[in-house]
C-alpha cells in the first residue's frame, strides 16, 4: 500500500541520474522550431548534433506524486539562435514546476497562453519557480553544457503541440557577442 522510498545519485558534472530513463533529442527531432530554417537544415545534414538529453525518474501519472529529471542542454546555435529545449505547457496546465540550475549558463523562457513572455537568467544555484499555466523552455547561452534539475507533479504531462505550432513570442540570439532576447518575427498569436 505504501510506495518504497529511495535515494539516487546525481552526478553534478555530467547531469546523469543513476537508474534514470534517458531521452535524447537531436537537432533533426526539432524541425520547425528554429527561426533560421536554412541553418537548421544545413546543420542537420552536416552533423545532426544532440541538442539535449533528459534523465528522468518518473512515477505513475497520479495526483500528489512527484517526478524529477535532469536536462543536459548542449551549447550551440542555429543561425544566431541559441540551442534550446522544445518547450511545453503541462498537459494538466495548472501544474507548477521547480527548476534548479547545476552547471553552465543559460536561462528560461516562460510564456502565458496569451503570449506574455519572460526570460529568467540561470546559473548554478538559480532556482526557478514555473507557476501554473506558464509554458517553459530552457536556453543554453554559454559554451559548455547547461545542466539543471526539474521537479514536477507526476500527473503534469507535456503539451508540446501549442509551442511546436506557435513557438514563443521571444527568441534568444547572439548579436555582436552578446545574449539578446528579442521579439520572435515568426510569432503567431
In the complex, the smallest distance separating the C-beta of residue 168 from ligand 6PG, rounded to whole angstroms, is 11
H-helix or E-strand spanning residue 181: strand 178-183
Q: Which residues bind Ni ion (CB under 5 A)?
A: 97
Site for ligand 6PG in 95-134 (CB under 6 A): 97
Which of ligand 6PG, Ni ion, none binds 87 (CB below 5-8 Å, type-dependent)? ligand 6PG
Nearest residue to 85 via CA among 31, 140, 16, 10 = 140
91 versus 181: smaller Cβ distance to Ni ion: 91
- The answer to whether 158 is a known ligand-binding residue is no
Contact with ligand 6PG (CB under 6 A): which of 20, 33, 85, 147? Answer: 85
Alpha helix ranges (H) inside 63-183: 161-166
Nearest residue to 95 via CA among 61, 137, 130 = 130
Task: Specify the 3-state DSSP secondary structure of 65.
Answer: coil
Contact code string over 150-169 relative to ligand 6PG, x by CB under 6 A: x-x---x-x-----------
Q: What is the DSSP letter of 177?
A: T
22 versus 158: smaller Cβ distance to ligand 6PG: 158
Contact with ligand 6PG (CB under 6 A): which of 87, 106, 153, 167? Answer: 87
Which of Ni ion, ligand 6PG, none binds 86 (CB below 5-8 Å, type-dependent)? ligand 6PG
- Please return the burial class of 63, using the count of CB atoms within 10 Å of its CB with bins 0-12, 13-18 and 19+: exposed
- Please return the burial class of 157, using the count of CB atoms within 10 Å of its CB with bins 0-12, 13-18 and 19+: middle
**Rounded-to-integer distance, Cα 170 and Cα 73, Å:** 19
- The answer to whether 61 is a known ligand-binding residue is no
Contact with ligand 6PG (CB under 6 A): which of 77, 86, 118, 164? Answer: 86
Which of ligand 6PG, Ni ion, none binds 149 (CB below 5-8 Å, type-dependent)? none
Binding residues for Fe cation: 88, 90, 97, 136
Amino acid at each position: 500500500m505504501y510506495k518504497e522510498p529511495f535515494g539516487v545519485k546525481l552526478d553534478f558534472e555530467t547531469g546523469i541520474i543513476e537508474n534514470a530513463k534517458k531521452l535524447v533529442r537531436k537537432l533533426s527531432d526539432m524541425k520547425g522550431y528554429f527561426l533560421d530554417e536554412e541553418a537548421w537544415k544545413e546543420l542537420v545534414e552536416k552533423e545532426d548534433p544532440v541538442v539535449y538529453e533528459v534523465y528522468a525518474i518518473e512515477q505513475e501519472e497520479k495526483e500528489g506524486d512527484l517526478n524529477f529529471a535532469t536536462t543536459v542542454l548542449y551549447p550551440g546555435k542555429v543561425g544566431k539562435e541559441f540551442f534550446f529545449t522544445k518547450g511545453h505547457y503541462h498537459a494538466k496546465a495548472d501544474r507548477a514546476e521547480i527548476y534548479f540550475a547545476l552547471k553552465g549558463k543559460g536561462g528560461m523562457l516562460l510564456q502565458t497562453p496569451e503570449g506574455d513572455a519572460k526570460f529568467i537568467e540561470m546559473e548554478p544555484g538559480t532556482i526557478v519557480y514555473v507557476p501554473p499555466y506558464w509554458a517553459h523552455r530552457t536556453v543554453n547561452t554559454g559554451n559548455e553544457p547547461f545542466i539543471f534539475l526539474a521537479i514536477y507533479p507526476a500527473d503534469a504531462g507535456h503539451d508540446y503541440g501549442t509551442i511546436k505550432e506557435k513557438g514563443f513570442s521571444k527568441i534568444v540570439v547572439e548579436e555582436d557577442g552578446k545574449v539578446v532576447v528579442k521579439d520572435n518575427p515568426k510569432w503567431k498569436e
